[in-house]
Structure 1
Amino acid sequence: MVVAIQQVKHVSGTNITSPKGYKAIGIHCGLKHKKKDLAVLLSEVPASVAGVFTTNAIQAAPLIVSKEVVQKGKMQAIIINSGNANACTGKQGMLDALTMQEKTAQKFGIESDLVGVASTGVIGEKLNMEPLLKGIEMLIPVDSLEGSIQFSQAILTTDTVMKNTVYRIEIDGKEVMIAGTAKGSGMIEPNMATMLGFITTDAEIESVHLQEALKVVTDITFNSITVDGDTSTNDMVLVLANGMAGNSSLTPAHPDWNAFLYTLHAVAQDLAKMIAKDGEGATKLIEVEVNGAVSNLEARKIAKTVVGSPLVKTAVFGCDANWGRIIAAVGYSGASVDPQGISIKIGETLVVKDGEPVIFSEEQLLLYLKQPEVKIYVDLNKGSGHGIAWGCDLTYDYVQINASYRS
């Protein structure tokens, strides 16, 4: 459980390089026609690293390379390309990912096993290495808002907006920053999915404890969003902690551990909600909150089932208060439910109480469903389990975008 901490502050106008000791840049190297397609994030010193990765059995070469770096516990740079996923590309794909790693290490004068690699884009096409390698030589990361914006732009695919957030917290009397940027719009069904997330902090923390914190946070943020139910081959979240804030090393026994955990959760939740809201063709963010489940795990399972239901998503798109689709999704979620104990609200409007329909104003609810954010509340009255999941509506544009993704 992540407990709210009062001294955590969201910091506007800041970026992925706001924590001490980080630089970033994004450029156009030629993998895409015009848009930026190559980016690097660099720490002044080797940083503790934690990562979570897609559960898809088919895993792209760059993800495999990054996993190996994470297992060693230190990372200093991450090289990212968009426009090509370098997935399902066989032995050549692995050689290309390792070449990206090695060339980045040479460019910045660090060991290759300190370089993470990430790719996103079309699956099954080999990387065009000539422009990519020339691009690596052109990378000059900077500690500035402009450099961070360019970094965020270069990792996008079908995204319509950049996704950035930063928080500040005090640990041991030292100012600590945690910043994040992400991409993700379609094929989002994490555990993980087509999303890349990069989080930086200047906190001092060993990799084993950073991994522990990320695992706790991931389950209630990135693993609680869905756009279309597809899980991709490349997706990861990496967290770097370079220790330059000067605090004493964080552990679960540290008095400020909960503050750090809460701040990391705030960053991850912001990014997760931004991804859900920016689902391909989406017009609305949907939040489903479940209370009264037999456990938190079951509550999250139900919430994610409801927000992932194509029928619920299309009903929200059409502003149709069809609560039957919601209760049906609760029923097939696989969680333990008592039909006579279920209550449902759409916004502030009660539509089901103790399994029975409630008379409500269709006109009033129509106005609510036209809003850009729609909240659905489900109470099971079986226990104390609580969970939230986020998703988006399913629109005509989603079909159009994915019907022509390769063209």
Structure 2
Amino acid sequence: MTQATSTNKIVVIEDASITLPEGYKAGGMHCGIKKKRLDLGYIVSDVPAAVAGVYTTNVFQAAPLILTQESIAKENKIQAILVNSGNANACTGEQGLLDAAEMQKRFADELGIQPHLVAVTSTGVIGELLPMECINAGIEQILQSEFEQEENFKHSILTTDTCIKQIGVQIKIDEHTISIGGAAKGSGMIHPNMATMLGFVTTDANIAQEDLLAALKDVTNQTFNMITVDGDTSTNDMVLVMANGLAGNEQLTKEHPDWGSFVTALGIVCKELAKKIARDGEGATKLVEVQVSGAFSTNDAKAVGKSIISSNLVKTAIYGTDPNWGRIVTAAGYSGVPIEPQLLEVSIGQYKVFEKGLPCPFVEEEVKSYLEQENVVIYVDLNQGENSATAWGCDLTYDYVKINASYRT
């Protein structure tokens, strides 16, 4: 059943996703890249849509990312996204680029649109050529009605994920209902250095492309760039936002009186997807949130939060329900931010464990009991300013090693 909550003018719909906005369809199928699971998916808009993207900072960008960025640069619009899982098409040289272009053209031909209006992306094992015979056969069938189910798309993009990740919101702008839907995949190779996963966001808002890109970059810095699982930044990952304008609102720009509401709504979608990715970290049992306050600047707060959430010692302590505040303090100390030790305060949940450069008395068993919960929050107050930031991650478990020791087998 749909769960909806309202925040001012924004309605959050927990089980809605990319087809919530007007004019989108999605689907997926098994074409043979994986042994059994769905591995080829698509999103299609009824009309060309303004598009904004953010991409991995890894210098080894996969062929589909290179092609997609080149295609978007031609018109700043796309009408479809084709994604395969199980094979990253990364570090595959000229043949990888040719294969990505073949996927793009074949799907464009099926849709009757220009190839540059199709974004292509891949995720999976690095260094292997795509099984193009399987993919091409899949593309010929993928638009058949039996595959036109949004649920299929959400499953077709997964690799080591244990669950689908989706969210939707609706807001009123110019008396029109604007919808934003999101779906993502991500479980391993996750680190706060955009991009760290695959994220797909759709909206029926009418919005200027340059402003859509500015909004996405701003929101990304507060959401997808504030999560980590294992400190690895992948070769393939990106976030794409499509805006097809079918809601009929007056064009949104930064000067529009409801611009702030739209950015807030986009931020909610991206934040919830980011948290779902962090919680689904490979082998993870807990979502860990680090709230940093009292910083000189927002960047300082982000740096401290990222440092703590990225610490393997912090992550393993949380897995072991060990209230080892020393690991938290140490991670804050090497963040590169000039921290005054005598001002720092640290709490694990409601339990203050460090203050004024010294440990605070606390009941060990109470804090251990708190750390057994699925959601753990660490509060860090630098007491040096008025800026804050939040980072998300997960615990580090034995299962993470097991999963990644046998990833290709």
Query: TM-score category by the smaller chain?
Result: over 0.9
Contact 1:5–1:259 (CA under 8 A) maintained in structure 2: no
> What is the DSSP-based 3-state SS (H/G/I as helix, E as strand, rest coil) of the residue aligned with 1:397?
helix
Contact 1:23–1:141 (CA under 8 A) maintained in structure 2: no
Letter matched to residue 79 of structure 1: L
Shift of 1:365: 0.6
Structure 2 unpaired stretches of 5+: 1-5
- Tell me what 2:61 maps to: 59
Q: 12, 22, 29: which is aligned to 1:10?
A: 12
Contact 1:319–1:369 (CA under 8 A) maintained in structure 2: yes
CA displacement, residues 120-152 of structure 1 (integer Å, 9 cap, x when unaligned): 0000000000010110111127799x7111100
1:131-150 correspondence runs (5 A) = 131-140=134-143, 147-150=149-152
- Tell me what 1:210 maps to: 212
- Tell me what 1:342 maps to: 344
Contact 1:49–1:74 (CA under 8 A) maintained in structure 2: yes
Shift of 1:237: 0.1
Are positions 1:224 and 2:242 aligned together?
no
1:68-217 correspondence runs (5 A) = 68-71=70-73, 72-140=75-143, 147-217=149-219
Letter matched to residue 162 of structure 1: I
Q: 240, 243, 247: which is aligned to 2:242?
A: 240
The alpha-carbon distance between structure 1 residues 292 and 143, as it changes in their structure 2 partners (threshold 3 A), is: farther
CA displacement, residues 200-248 of structure 1 (integer Å, 9 cap, x when unaligned): 0000001101000001100000000000000110000000000000000
Query: In 2, distance between residues paired with 1:44 and 1:118?
Result: 20
Query: In 1, distance between residues paired with 2:15 and 2:381?
Result: 38
- Tell me what 2:406 maps to: 404
Are positions 1:375 and 2:377 aligned together?
yes
Query: In 1, distance between residues paired with 2:71 and 2:175?
Result: 32
- Tell me what 1:253 maps to: 255
* Range with greater deviation from structure 2 (386-395 or 347-356): 347-356
The TM-score, its normalising length taken from structure 2, stands at 0.97
Contact 1:277–1:391 (CA under 8 A) maintained in structure 2: yes
Shift of 1:294: 1.1
| Percent identical residues | 56
Contact 1:101–1:112 (CA under 8 A) maintained in structure 2: yes
Letter matched to residue 139 of structure 2: I
Query: In 2, distance between residues paired with 1:355 and 1:249?
Result: 53
Structure 1 unpaired stretches of 5+: none
Task: Quote the RMSD (CA, aligned, Å).
Answer: 1.4
The alpha-carbon distance between structure 1 residues 193 and 256, as it changes in their structure 2 partners (threshold 3 A), is: closer
CA displacement, residues 158-213 of structure 1 (integer Å, 9 cap, x when unaligned): 00000000001001010010000000000101322441000000000011010000
Query: In 1, distance between residues paired with 2:356 and 2:218?
Result: 33
> What is the DSSP-based 3-state SS (H/G/I as helix, E as strand, rest coil) of the residue aligned with 1:120?
strand
Query: In 2, distance between residues paired with 1:13 and 1:187?
Result: 26
Query: In 2, distance between residues paired with 1:100 and 1:206?
Result: 29
Query: In 2, distance between residues paired with 1:371 and 1:87?
Result: 38
The alpha-carbon distance between structure 1 residues 260 and 193, as it changes in their structure 2 partners (threshold 3 A), is: closer
CA displacement, residues 333-357 of structure 1 (integer Å, 9 cap, x when unaligned): 0012111110000000000112221
